[in-house]
Amino acid sequence: MKLARNFSSLICFALLTACSGGEPGGPNAASETSASSGPAASATRQVVVYTPHGQEILDEFEAAFEAAHPDIDVVGRFVPTGQILSQLRIDKGSAQIDIWWGGTSALFGQAKDDGLLEPYRPSWADVIDPAYHDADDAWYAQFLQLPAIIYNRNVYEVGETPRSYRELLGAEWKDKIVIREPLNSGTMRTIYAGIVWELGGPEHTPALGYQFLKELDAQTRSYLPNPQALYDRIAKSRDGYISLWNLTDAIFQSKANGYPFGWNVPEGPIAISLDPIALVKGGPNPEEAREFYEFVTSKESCAALAKKHFRILARNDLDPSELPDITAGIQFTALDLDSAVFDQVQLDWMQHWQDSIRDPDK
């Protein structure tokens, strides 16, 4: 079965291999791929990769990497980001993982502070904004997660829905807003904390941001437990619900799964969530880990991820012709923030939102 999967994946990744160079499910969502049969069964080396990017991406890049490096077996696990950090903490001093591929800069920052990441400067470090990687090279963002105001395009015409966070407070959107549970969502925590950061001025005083979130809570019809509930509420209701969500996910759900989503990237400065990759400190296969890191973040791999999975890339050296039209033309203004400070204060701000702002009956 693995041989057949590898063969079909290699057809899709012919160019990539020739060059060689939500939010996942709930807390129990984890699966593993390993060399039980097929070409990699005779591999003499291995690399252990944990990722929340999803089984499809993991399978594709396992096959592509093993084809380009037939002596290395990829042992990959699809695991939610928070569980990866927990596992790294458990294994500290005797790491079992080589690569952490994907998540949020806040959790990668915690891992760095805990001494769990191995600094590494990739070959493409000069084609990424310095704001998109750790100052000590502990992690580098491969993708950018942009916020979006999403809606049902079968209900609304282009231009009828809010184009800024401020417009969400208009009277016409009262009880039309549904939101994924913010404390359970890295996407929503980043969006809400970004609003507080922007409104707080140079001192990042949260009072004005808290007031905005209080008014947004009054506009909100309900908070939903998971991404699927959010998709269904917007797509299956004719009541015209709208939401805030991750742009990449909205595009993917629209193109791959047929959801009738339209979207607006909010005007004005917006907080960008960084989606990093890092080497694990003390990982058992450091040389193979560096090879895998470079392979999946190469220009060719990034182009493939952008085209097939609509990822918005952190590196800036791809020609627009190498990107899908739907993402190549996206315009946004990134909020100027110190990611290390932002990742820290958002924890306090979101706890205040939960304790003192949120309507507990929604």
The overall average pLDDT reported for the chain is: 88
Do 307 and 189 lie in a common domain?
no
pLDDT, residue 5, reads 40
Cα–Cα dist 99/56, whole Å = 18
pLDDT, residue 23, reads 42
The verdict on residue 362 lying in a domain is: no
Across the range 278-301, mean pLDDT stands at: 98
Across the range 327-346, mean pLDDT stands at: 85
CA within 13 Å, CB half, 92: 11
CA gyration radius, the chain? 21
CA dihedral 90, 93, 97, 103 (to 10 degrees): 60
| % of the chain surpassing 70 pLDDT | 88
Task: Check whether 21 has a pLDDT greater than 60.
Answer: no
Cα–Cα dist 205/159, whole Å = 33
Assign residue 104 the CATH number of its domain. 3.40.190.10
pLDDT, residue 345, reads 92
Q: What is the DSSP string of 97-134?
A: -SEEES--HHHHHHHHHTT-EE----TTGGGB-GGGB-
Do 140 and 278 lie in a common domain?
yes
Instruction: Note the pTM of the prediction, 2 decimals.
Output: 0.78
Across the range 235-259, mean pLDDT stands at: 94
pLDDT, residue 347, reads 87
pLDDT, residue 201, reads 87
Comparing CA positions, the residue from 176, 337, 204, 326 lying closest to residue 265 is: 326
Classify residue 294 by burial, with Cβ atoms within 10 Å: 0-12, 13-18, 19+.
Answer: middle
Do 45 and 89 lie in a common domain?
yes
Q: What is the DSSP string of 44-98?
A: SEEEEEEESS-HHHHHHHHHHHHHH-TTEEEEEEE--HHHHHHHHHHTTTS---S
Which structural domain range is residue 93 located in?
A: 2-144+273-328
Do 128 and 159 lie in a common domain?
no
| % of the chain surpassing 90 pLDDT | 72
The verdict on residue 63 lying in a domain is: yes
Do 236 and 337 lie in a common domain?
yes
The verdict on residue 104 lying in a domain is: yes
Do 171 and 221 lie in a common domain?
yes
Inter-residue contact 310 to 324 (CB < 8 Å)? yes
Do 23 and 104 lie in a common domain?
yes
Q: Kindly state the tokens that stand for 5.
A: 């999967």
Cα–Cα dist 349/215, whole Å = 16
Taking the CB of residue 305, how many other CB atoms lie within 10 A of it?
22
pLDDT, residue 187, reads 87
Give tens-digit pLDDT for 161-170. Answer: 999 999 999 9
Domains of the chain: total: 2
Total length of the chain? 362
pLDDT, residue 42, reads 65
Inter-residue contact 25 to 78 (CB < 8 Å)? no
